[in-house]
Amino acid sequence: MSKVIVKRSSAGLGLFANQPFQKGDLVIEYIGETISANEANVRGGKYLFELNDNWTIDGKCRKNIARYINHSCKPNCYPELDDKEERVFIYAKKKIAAGEELTYNYGKDYFNIMIKPMGCRCESCLSKTS
């Protein structure tokens, strides 16, 4: 049984827990092609994960199931880089029940450019506007 499952969410497709997670559990790795910051600027796209000022992971490939994780302003997961800043792992920020949508905070830059102009559709923001 897969640990996670892709389903429709309030912000397009999303990734959901298919089992319970404890705080600190590794949920999934964000995988993809590592490209330079310049190349990332040329390519653009919604699946770019910035590792540092020089390198970015382009997570658009279909094998990267983590690309379905949506942004939340009150997330239940967080991304962490390995020591070499080459890989990104997504961990549970708290206890997560099976069926819950998995989310992390995309960070200020991504949020301001890609999410804010259309309005954030995370659970926390949607509950404030309704």
Binding residues for ligand SAM, rule: CB under 6 A, are 11-14, 46-47, 67-68, 70-71, 114-115, 120-122
Please identify, using beta-carbon distances, which residue of 14 and 79 lies nearer to ligand SAM: 14
Residue 37 CA neighbour count, 13 Å, CB half: 6
Residue 35 binds which of ligand SAM, Zn ion, none (CB < 5-8 A, kind-dependent): none
Q: Which residues within the stretch 59-98 sit at the binding site for Zn ion (CB under 5 A)?
A: 73
Residue 47 binds which of Zn ion, ligand SAM, none (CB < 5-8 A, kind-dependent): ligand SAM
Please identify, using beta-carbon distances, which residue of 24 and 126 lies nearer to ligand SAM: 126
Q: What is the 3-state secondary structure (H, E, C) of 26-93?
A: EEEEECCEEEEHHHHHHHCCCCEEECCCCEEEECCCCCCHHHHCEECCCCCEEEEECCCCCCEEEEEC
Q: How far is the CB of 32 from ligand SAM (least distance, A)?
A: 11
CA distance 121 to 22: 25
Residue 43 binds which of ligand SAM, Zn ion, none (CB < 5-8 A, kind-dependent): none
Please identify, using beta-carbon distances, which residue of 46 and 94 lies nearer to ligand SAM: 46
Select the residue whose beta carbon is closest to ligand SAM and give its number: 12
Give φ, ψ of 90 to 5 degrees: -105, 125
**Which residues, at least 6 apart from 35, have a Cβ–Cβ distance to it below 8 Å?**
43, 55, 56, 57, 58
Query: Where do contacts with Zn ion occur on this chain (CB under 5 A)?
Result: 73, 120, 122, 125
